[in-house]
Amino acid sequence: MKSSGLLKRSHIRKMFPVRDAASHKGLNGKVLIVGGSIEYYGAPLLSALGSLYAGADLVHLFVPESNFDVTRSLYPDFIVKKFPGHYLTHTGVREILEFSTTCDSILIGPGMYDREVTVRAILELIEALRIPTVLDSTAIDVLKHVKEVPLSQPIVVCPHKNEFENLTLKEVKNLNDTEELVKFIRTIATEMKINILFKNPQDIIASPEGEIRFNKTGNAGLTVGGSGDVLAGVITSLIAQGATPYEACQIAAFVVGYTGDYLYKQKDYCFSATDLALEIPFTIRHILQ
């Protein structure tokens, strides 16, 4: 069995990317987020907030043209581009791939609708990308259709229970205890050669080499819609800043949970995903002190 253990502040301080005081714009992470649909325009914005407030220099969004105006009007800090239509299809893939060569990491999935044409487009994307790729929501399930692993780039997935069951075609509730669940998650991570952040009351984080970490920060307030989008954005940001994908999953799980615990003290369970994203810089500062 590879090394395992519970994450602590001391672990996060050691792993967190260190910024060069002499660096300039763009050297501390260029993030690309592909998401949205006519039904869900907010999710990629929440991911973008997570990326920005976890420290990325530049955050780019590719969204459907039907979401374009609302997306670019919300926040002046984001650089927004569009692909044709109400949801991602093959038509938008080429431009996204070309632009991805200028970025350090990419997140695919927040707010995407589960249509067959979108699934095919996501598959086309992830099989052609060459930068670290974070998959969330609909994009996680697309991995089932990948013909050959490992892919050319590091892959991260951050599923909740239902998304993990859809990916693996196995009901998690049928696993008898935590040890059996951990063993199963490790098996999937090593066989598919992916990093997994399994969102749970105790998060389980697995590397492609079979390493396991646990995170206990966080509370039931993080069930609020959009918190997973923020988490995915934080992971993508940390990778862009130089953390390994496995380190980024650990840091993001701890930081987002820690932020949720702070917000609970201030607002009980009555906080939003936007609250979560906006508070992240303050908790990062506190963790790193």
What is the structure's pLDDT at 172?
Answer: 83
Closest by alpha carbon to 195, among 243, 267, 241?
243
What is the structure's pLDDT at 175?
Answer: 76
What is the structure's pLDDT at 173?
Answer: 76
Query: What integer is the mean pLDDT of 15-24?
Result: 94
What is the structure's pLDDT at 216?
Answer: 97
Mean pLDDT for the chain?
95
Give pLDDT tens digits for 178-237.
Answer: 889 999 999 999 999 999 999 999 999 999 999 999 999 999 999 999 999 999 999 999
Give pLDDT tens digits for 31-64.
Answer: 999 999 999 999 999 999 999 999 999 999 999 9
Give pLDDT tens digits for 92-111.
Answer: 999 999 999 999 999 999 99
Check residue 193 and give left, alpha or beta (phi > 0: left; psi -120 to 50: alpha): left
Burial of 4 per CB tally in 10 Å (0-12, 13-18, 19+): middle
Q: Where are the alpha helices (DSSP H) in 193-244?
A: 227-240
The structural domains of the chain, ordered by start, are: 9-15+25-284 (3.40.1190.20)
- CA angle 228–233–235, rounded 5-degree value: 95
The residue type of 237 is: S
Q: Is the pTM of this model over 0.85?
A: yes
CA 13/CA 138 separation, integer angstroms: 32
Structure tokens at 240: 């862009």
- Under 8 Å CB-to-CB from 136, ≥6 apart: which residues? 47, 107, 108, 109, 110, 157, 158, 228, 229, 232
pLDDT at 3 over 60: no
What is the structure's pLDDT at 4?
Answer: 58
What is the structure's pLDDT at 2?
Answer: 46
Burial of 114 per CB tally in 10 Å (0-12, 13-18, 19+): middle
Query: What integer is the mean pLDDT of 130-140?
Result: 97
What is the structure's pLDDT at 1?
Answer: 39
